[in-house]
Amino acid sequence: MIIADTNEKDLLNQLIIGDEAAFRQIYLLYSGRLYGNILKLVKSKAVAEEILQEVFIKIWEHRRHIDVNQSFRSYLFRIAENKVCNFYVKASRDRALINTLTGIMSSNYSHVEEAIVSREQAAFLQHAIDTLPPQRKQVFQLCKIEGKSYEEVSALLGISTSTISDHIVKANRFLKEYARKNKELIIILVLILFTNDGGPL
């Protein structure tokens, strides 16, 4: 949407002094087109919405630095481009991390402990696993840590592969919550939760 320069400058001047109504008006004027551009770049509605929100949060937080004599549209779209670049850099790093950790996980748990975590962190992780119900703990250790397939575990424990899948889903859910409460474990749990356990992908 195109607006007159004088009207935009008035809105920006009001925004600079903290006028929330002016901020909302600017959001309404620019958010639709900006969202469309971001969506074309990231191909995900959820990610595009998150980046759009981050852009306008930055606009509000840095409103005092806005130059009303420069193109606000260019300023806005430049912030969005930087946010998109940051998203892809982070995504690339995350994929590299997961690939690296998954490769390490192809060995055994003691190797993971020696290569990645301190003994204190390993103890935290073991405590989380020990908190699982007995059969769920056994299934998790066999599938996730020892790398056995669902079929192998089914034969060992005499339970169906669907039961094994249910145990893994519930164990993952519990451990993800545990990871949120113990941030030092996030890397360890990413390692375990993203490693192929032999079940359906």
Rounded to two decimals, what is the model's pTM?
0.47
pLDDT band at 31 (very low <50, low <70, confident <90, very high): very high
Domain 106-193: give its CATH architecture: Orthogonal Bundle (1.10)
- In the chain, where the domains are located: 5-91, 106-193
pLDDT at residue number 113:
39
pLDDT band at 172 (very low <50, low <70, confident <90, very high): confident
- DSSP annotation string for 3-28: --HHHHHHHHHHHHTT-HHHHHHHHH
CATH class of the domain at 5-91: mainly alpha
- Give the length of the chain: 201
Find out whether 53 and 80 touch, Cβ atoms under 8 Å: no
What one-letter code names the amino acid at 161? T
Token pair 């982070």 in the structure block, residue = 90
Taking 3-state DSSP, the helix, strand and coil percentages for the chain, each rounded to the nearest 5, stand at 80, 0, 20
pLDDT at residue number 143:
84
Residue 68 burial (CB count, 10 A): 14
Tell me how far apart the alpha carbons of residues 162 and 2 are, in angstroms, rounded to a whole number. 57
Q: What is the rounded average pLDDT for all residues in the chain?
A: 76
At 188, list the tokens: 């360890």
